[in-house]
Amino acid sequence: MGFLAWPLETNRIRRDVTNNTFGTVRRNADGTKRDHQGWDLVATPLTACYAIADGVIRKREDHDAKGHGKLVVLEFLFQGRTLFALYSHLSIASVARGTKVTQGEVIAYTGTSGNANGMTGEDQHLHFEIRNELEAGRGLSGRVDPQTLYGRAPREYAIVESHGQKRLLKSSGAGLKINAQDMRRW
């Protein structure tokens, strides 16, 4: 597979701030730095989440009261590596563990589960990670910065991708794929 689809139709880092991106980008109350393991992408509850690649659902869990809350993990191959995409703070997972999915297929819907419970407005989000291990621990180990795979983080602009059109083009074998760009420059 030559490219990864985006997990949402409209992808933008929550509040356009660095601490909602990947890395040692957050601060504790005492000023010490701490890690954020993925991207927080703005998403109101019941926003469709899409498979970023063809693969298999390896996890579907519901830890509603803590951490990631409801989540799904997609195993996929990209650039010769087995990787895992975690989607969390969901309201509904529309796939079962072991399900084979195709790129662009709806696999879940966003929500405010786990430690996103009670968030409103622009704080509602999908927490999205790329892992090189199914069971990644604390910190950044076992994870890959999504920016290294996508080429950029959608901060201070949105990346819009029509998954329905991609499925139509993919199934027919005809058509033209155009990468999304920042349309404000036009």
Domain boundaries, the chain: 10-24+34-174
Cut 0.75: pTM above it: yes
Q: Rounded distance, CA 180 to CA 186, Å?
A: 13
| CA-only gyration radius of the chain, Å | 16
The encoded tokens of residue 37 equal 């393991």
pLDDT in tens, 55-81: 999 999 987 667 899 999 999 999 999
23-27/33-36 β-pairing: antiparallel
Whole-number pLDDT of residue 164? 63
Residues 6+ apart with CB under 8 A from 61: 68, 70, 71
CATH domain 10-24+34-174 topology: Glucose Permease (Domain IIA) (2.70.70)
Whole-number pLDDT of residue 25? 87
Q: Rounded distance, CA 104 to CA 79, Å?
A: 18
Please check the confidence at residue 35 and state whether its pLDDT lies above 60: yes
The amino acid that residue 84 corresponds to is F
Tally of CB atoms within 10 A around 112: 21
Q: Rounded distance, CA 136 to CA 73, Å?
A: 12
Mean pLDDT of 144-157: 95
Please check the confidence at residue 140 and state whether its pLDDT lies above 80: yes
Please check the confidence at residue 184 and state whether its pLDDT lies above 80: no
pLDDT in tens, 78-102: 999 999 999 999 999 999 999 999 9
Please check the confidence at residue 185 and state whether its pLDDT lies above 50: no
